[in-house]
Amino acid sequence: MTTDASPRPDLSGVRIGFIGLGVMGAPMAAHLLEAGAVLTVHTRTPQRAQPLLDAGARWAPSPADAARDAAFVVTIVGFPEDVEAVYFGRRGTAAAPTGGAGIFSTAAPGAVLIDMTTSRPALAREIHAAAAARSIAALDAPVSGGDVGARAATLSIMVGGDADAFERARPILAVMGRLVVRQGAAGSGQLTKLCNQIAIAGTMFGALEALLFARRTGLDPTTVLTSIGAGAAASWTLLNLYPRAERGDFAPGFAARHFLKDLRIALDEASDAALDLPGLALAERLYGRMVEDEGRGDFGTHGLLLTLMGS
């Protein structure tokens, strides 16, 4: 575990390939560059890389190029399919007919691959096995803390994989997050992130249904929060998202379509474990309605209020 009190590790001269410069990846990559890393970046939309290139990063035209000669490769992309493409190579599609070579086509023995996407535990284990066959280490290391945590380097990073690879990667991770914990073998980081999302799903119901109930029974939701925000009902969601939902501010935060993806992965894993989680199942149903029927996938997760209102 690393806290703010620790000095930031010095990454001078450490060669890192970084793939995926979205709202999370871009500030995370910037922290690595500031810590002295020799950074090579790739992302699907090249212009997103420009600020990093201006700050000294080098451009790689493919994931394979980003991984070549890197001691560490960090990936943080959108969906499990993207993770698969980035590691194993992209099949040609109508939009991108040439496809693209994956990390495994160039990564050198001894490298450490760190996937920080929230993705399938089974895919993390598959990557770990494919890496091991090439004498490469692989960690699954999804994060929580959102874009705010990515910019402030205060992320919680949940890590699965071998203990020695974790120790080697720790300075890299400590530059990007505040709470870096190894949870167990390959896939454990992903499973822990799913626990996080399951806990959030229930809390979200609680907070948004309390808000709706307050409104519809004639209470002042803001005064209600004064009474209920500090005791047994307290949650991060209640304190942070209830007020935004109350004033009709549904900007993400965390986009509902990504949350739905996570809930579906969690449900699949629960089902594989013969585990019936009725709260999670309800959340998946309602977020499915919000994202797929109501077209609100780019709203923040607290936009579920509108679905609960039946509007």
Residue 264 burial (CB < 10 Å; 0-12/13-18/19+)?
middle
Kindly tell me which of 21 and 180 has the beta carbon lying closer to a copy of itself.
180
Applying CB under 8 A, which part among 44-52, 97-105, 107-115, 198-206 lies near a copy of itself?
198-206
Kindly write out the interface string for residues 122-161 of this chain, putting x where it contacts a copy of itself by CB under 8 A and - elsewhere: ----------------------xxx--x------x-x---
311 binds a copy of itself (CB under 8 A): no
Kindly tell me which of 36 and 279 has the beta carbon lying closer to a copy of itself.
279
194 binds a copy of itself (CB under 8 A): yes
d(CA 112, CA 139): 7
Residue 288 tokens read as: 């499915």
Residues belonging to the active site:
193
From residue 54, alpha-carbon distances to 2, 20, 38, 57, 60 in Å are 30, 17, 14, 7, 14
218 binds a copy of itself (CB under 8 A): yes
Q: Which of residues 15-44 bind a copy of itself (CB under 8 A)?
A: none
Q: Which of residues 163-182 bind a copy of itself (CB under 8 A)?
A: 179, 181
Q: What is the C-alpha end-to-end distance of the chain, expressed in Å?
A: 44
Choice from 23, 122, 152, 212 touching a copy of itself (CB under 8 A): 212
Q: Which of residues 238-297 bind a copy of itself (CB under 8 A)?
A: 238, 240, 254, 266, 269-270, 273-280, 282, 286
Element (H, E) at 137: strand 137-140
From residue 106, alpha-carbon distances to 1, 39, 64, 134, 231 in Å are 32, 16, 6, 11, 53
